[in-house]
Every structure is written in C-alpha cells, then in structure tokens.
Amino acid sequence: MPDYDIVLLDVEGTTTPISFVHEVLFPYILDNVDRFLEAQWQDPTVQEHVRAIADQANKDAQAGIVHAIPIDLDTDTPEEIRQKVAVNVRWQMKIDRKIAALKGLQGYMWRFGYTGGQLQGVMFDDAVQAIKKWSADCKVYIYSSGSVEAQKLIFGFSDHGDLLPCISGHYDTNIGLKQESQSYTRIAEDIGIPPSRIMFISDNENEIRAADQAGFQTVVSVRPGNLTLTESAKKNYRLTSDFTELI
C-alpha cells in the first residue's frame, strides 16, 4: 500500500508539457480574444467575466499601475469596453499575471476551443498511467494556477480521452497562491486529511518548499522544457521524470 492517501498534482510542467500552455493555450487567447468578445458579447457569462476584468483594471489603475487602463462599464461604449478588455488581457498575459479575473475569461474561451475541437489537452503518458492507477487506490486532486475551469478542460478533453472520472477535486488560486504554505494547509483542511498523508507533485521548487513547510510529502517533476532546478532542490527533494515509479 502507498504511504499516502491523496495525490495532489500540479499541471504545467508536471502532467502536461509547459510548452502546451505557452505554445497552444496562450496563443489561442491572444489570437481570438477580440473576435470572441464581439461574437459572444450577449452571453451573460461573458458579461460576468468582463465585469471581473473591469473591476480588476479599475483597482490596478487606482493603485497606480502604469499599464492599467480604467474601464467604465456605465459610460464606455461596448466597442470601447471590448477593446480595453482585449488590451488588458494581452497586457496581463504578457507579464504572466496569475489573477482570478484573467483566468476566468481565459477558461471560458478555452471551453469554446475544446468543445469546438480546436484544442486538446496534452498529457505525459506516464502521468496518465499513474493517475489511472492512483484513482483506483487513493484519490487524485489537482492544484494549478490555471482556473478550475481550465483544469477540467485539459483533463476532460485530453489526448488520452476524458480523465475527469479519475480526479476527485480541483483547486486553483482561489484557495491561495501556490508558493504560500497556508494554501497547502487549507487544501488539507478542505479535503479533511492530515498534510502528511498527501503527496504533492510539482515542477516548481518554490511550490514544493511551500507544500513541504505545510507538512506534505513532495516530489519534484522533471520534464523536458522545465526550468533547471537549483542544487539545493536536487539535494533536498525527491525527483522523478516517470510517475509510474511513484505508484
């Protein structure tokens, strides 16, 4: 029997190549955001996401962030709002901002891409094999800075079929930032299991350190295209490039 009850997985650089996000998902947003906003403008969910982006942009502008252009939903025309939202989305993505308002709109756009057959989630073979085995023996959860919506799409429309039946739950930055130890404490509390019974796998050593501080078991995922690890990470943490070794 494994010495853990829960496996908590990062996505980018862990189950899925980093290149998938930067070479497929992000360009899909950048290429389609203007057209999408115009075509789906009447959709109430699009309006909700636009409101969230506007609130964030107005907060950023008040905080004196140079590139944040305020968006006035009462006085700007729909064309002006769409244009400002598109500019805001491109700026936030350029600086790789992990903010809930941006992630929400991205996730909603990706749903159109996946269900329309333009996008498919890329998974490492060994990760899929391990996830299937783990889901029979223990429980698999996902914790990614990509929104829960985006996670469900990658796993639901993967190049290995629908993997969602193997996943017991999803967390994103709504529970807290991935490099903060309290986020992992909250996840353990939410699942209702001691931190020491959870094995967290991620490519990011700052996330691994935060999970380790919260008392989780940790494994660093080593994949082609991931950032080079520091010597201290190599020395202090268990590393793997094949998840079937962890089963």
What's the closest the beta carbon of residue 210 comes to Mg ion, in angstroms? 13
Which amino acids are annotated as binding site for substrate, given as ranges? 144-145, 178
- Closest to Mg ion by CB, 23 vs 137, is 23
Mention every residue, 6+ apart, whose C-beta is less than 8 A from residue 17: 122, 124, 223, 224, 225
What's the closest the beta carbon of residue 145 comes to Mg ion, in angstroms? 8
Helical segments of the chain, H only: 18-20, 26-39, 44-62, 78-94, 100-115, 125-137, 148-156, 181-191, 205-213, 231-236
- Closest to Mg ion by CB, 112 vs 237, is 237
What's the closest the beta carbon of residue 55 comes to Mg ion, in angstroms? 28
Residue nearest to Mg ion (CB): 13
Q: Which residues of 168-177 are buried (b: 16+ CB within 10 A; e: fewer)?
A: eebbbbebbe
What's the closest the beta carbon of residue 61 comes to Mg ion, in angstroms? 31
- Closest to Mg ion by CB, 69 vs 93, is 93
DSSP lists the bridge partners of residue 158 as: 121, 161
Instruction: Give the residue among 135, 120, 129 at the shortest CA–CA distance from 24.
Output: 120
| Contacting positions for Mg ion (CB under 5 A) | 10, 12-13, 203
- Closest to Mg ion by CB, 10 vs 60, is 10
* Cα gap 46→106, rounded to integer Å: 11
Which amino acids are annotated as binding site for Mg(2+), given as ranges? 10, 12, 203
